[in-house]
Structure 1
Amino acid sequence: MTIIIDHHSDQNDAGDEIGEKNQGITKEEEETELVLDAGFEAPHTNSFGHTFRDYDAESERRRGVEEFYRVNHIGQTVDFVRKMRQEYGKLNRTEMSIWECCELLNEFIDESDPDLDEPQIEHLLQTAEAIRKDYPDEDWLHLTGLIHDLGKVLLHSSFGELPQWAVVGDTYPVGCAFDESIVHHKYFKENQDYDNPSYNTKYGIYTEGCGLDNVLMSWGHDDYMYLVAKENQTTLPSAGLFIIRYHSFYALHKSEAYKYLMNDEDTENMKWLKVFNKYDLYSKSKVRINVEEVKPYYLSLINKYFPAKLKW
């Protein structure tokens, strides 16, 4: 069936129910929506029986998630991000295939995620297969679903075993004011850039419409995988690279913060990110994927869009 992709609102501080369709959408907003065939229905609850991205719900993971964001918000500074990009942008750690990287993620669980406690390979395949079902002709989007979190190999010992706060979690710009829509915003007050007049204004070191590609994002798996894909000359479309780098940028694609930094290409690519985000977030479930059954298909896509071995 042909539908307009709905915007879903996350559980917020006021306790709004997730999944409500936004009311009063303007004509301009309607014109930016993708009208595509899609039948995916979002579940109402996550793996723990709570609404998705509810950072206040009482669960065994809530306290750990909040502590994660406290450390994350203190440590993600301009200096730190520049240092990480310079170090890891050299891509001199190892050479391996995309699938080999997928298998490395089997041993990791994302401490920042209040919705999921499965190994990462499960989430990658859940996302990719959900997209594949609804968008059978967009094979680049299937592959993007598979690889979007591969940067989490930064947690592995061969990549320096970075702490989780420097690998996972919601991302946001550094070098300008931290928007209040960012989860657990209160902890930014302990960030050394918070009171720096060069970094704490609306635009900070940026200019209006400068383009997100020119913005320093908090360091983590998103930015790293973006660098890996780009520098290894992937043939994924720009929308695929955009999804990889900004899929955790919830302040933008859920709260519409920082839109003033976007250029025209960002605006076009945002349409696909909004499609992707629904599958990234809501496909998290206890439904298991038969890896060996789907592996040949994804190997064919990897061969189409990437070299056999990548520099990491």
Structure 2
Amino acid sequence: MKNLKDTTLDMEDLWEDDLRSRYPENKDKGEEDFRDYNDPARDTVREFYRLNHLYQNYDFVLQKKEQYTKLEKRKMSLWEAVEFLNTLVDDSDPDTDLDQTQHLLQTSEAIRADGHPDWFILTGFLHDLGKVLCLFGEPQWAVVGDTFPVGCQFSQSIVYPEFFKENSDFRDPRFNTKYGIYEPNCGLDKVQLSWGHDEYLYYVLKEYLPEPALYMIRYHSFYAQHKEGAYDHLMNEHDHSLFEWVKRFNPYDLYSKSPVPPNVAELRPFYEDLAAKYLPDTIAF
């Protein structure tokens, strides 16, 4: 008889297979081909991660939090922020050249089609909105890409781990041990992650959405943990419980990408009404 873990893994495999089967444009593209950084769709990916891993250190993260989490940059309506994202192509993502609004809608529409709660659908639509950091002049290596803890040893499970050798924290004895400055199982809320759109959007929306939604937003790019389990030693039981939502969300983010764009004009009224249920008319960024 299979144990619960095996059954859960089987269900996740079936669920992800089902998601891919609903997007026939990718019918010849298996799970292993998504996020293929050895053969990326664009040559910019490797250089992106070289810069990201060079500059994302503990001091940089604290500096950016001080700069941005006061949310004093600009107030915008949701759709003003969404329309800005149309100008951004994510250099860290090898899977798609669609604009960001289309990716958000592909993600949220896949969630909606599976009958999830409205806050889950809205989270799919909002999850990359923190990329408006680019509007404030931040380079993409400080906005997008996989996130990872700083203040402790960089895991080999992080994409392109060889680039961390040039990061100043790599040689700093305060930061280059397994736990670094942290206590075992201290909880992710006490851990500093590399700065980017996930952490920023968490601060933008933390007063408005349910906690599972906030975990999805804050940790959906933390692949070294939710795919590899590389930082179990820093997580507490509450994190593990909420990460089930992150894992539930991730296939929608990752495998719903398709070159066929959604009809933005047709879908916009639904998402404006949904956002009005949870968000204020203007949002502080």
Q: Please say if residues 167 and 219 of structure 1, whose CA atoms lie closer than 8 Å, have aligned partners that are also in contact.
A: yes
Correspondence 1:56 to 2:32:
no
Q: Take 2:278 and 2:238, find their aligned partners in 1: how far apart are those partners? A: 21
Q: Take 2:171 and 2:162, find their aligned partners in 1: how far apart are those partners? A: 14
Matches within 5 A, 1:1-312: 27-28=4-5, 30=7, 39-41=18-20, 43=26, 51-57=33-39, 61=42, 63-134=43-114, 136-156=115-135, 159=136, 161-230=137-206, 233-234=207-208, 236-312=209-285
Cα 1:29–1:223 change in 2 (3 A) is: farther
Deviations 1:269-299 (A, max 9, x none): 1111111100100111112211121112111
Q: Take 1:215 and 1:223, find their aligned partners in 2: how far apart are those partners? A: 12
Tell me how large the CA RMSD over aligned residues is: 2.4
Q: Take 1:148 and 1:34, find their aligned partners in 2: how far apart are those partners? A: 24
Q: Take 2:146 and 2:111, find their aligned partners in 1: how far apart are those partners? A: 22
Question: How far off its partner does 1:27 sit?
Answer: 3.4
SS in 2 for 1:267: helix
Question: How far off its partner does 1:306 sit?
Answer: 1.2
Q: Take 2:229 and 2:237, find their aligned partners in 1: how far apart are those partners? A: 15
Question: How far off its partner does 1:173 sit?
Answer: 0.4
Cα 1:124–1:198 change in 2 (3 A) is: same
Q: Please say if residues 71 and 165 of structure 1, whose CA atoms lie closer than 8 Å, have aligned partners that are also in contact.
A: yes
What fraction of aligned residue pairs are identical, expressed as a percent? 51
Deviations 1:39-79 (A, max 9, x none): 52354556xxx81111111x551x31101100100100100
TM-score normalized with structure 1 length:
0.83
Question: Is there any run of 5+ residues in structure 1 with no aligned partner, and where?
Answer: 1-23
Q: Quick check: which one's helix share is greater?
A: 2
Q: Please say if residues 52 and 142 of structure 2, whose CA atoms lie closer than 8 Å, have aligned partners that are also in contact.
A: yes
Deviations 1:235-270 (A, max 9, x none): x21110001011000000111110121122211111
Higher relative contact order (CA 8 A, sep 6+): 2
Q: Please say if residues 45 and 51 of structure 1, whose CA atoms lie closer than 8 Å, have aligned partners that are also in contact.
A: no
Question: How far off its partner does 1:25 sit?
Answer: 7.8
Deviations 1:68-114 (A, max 9, x none): 10010010010000000010011111111222211110111000111
Q: Take 1:107 and 1:25, find their aligned partners in 2: how far apart are those partners? A: 48
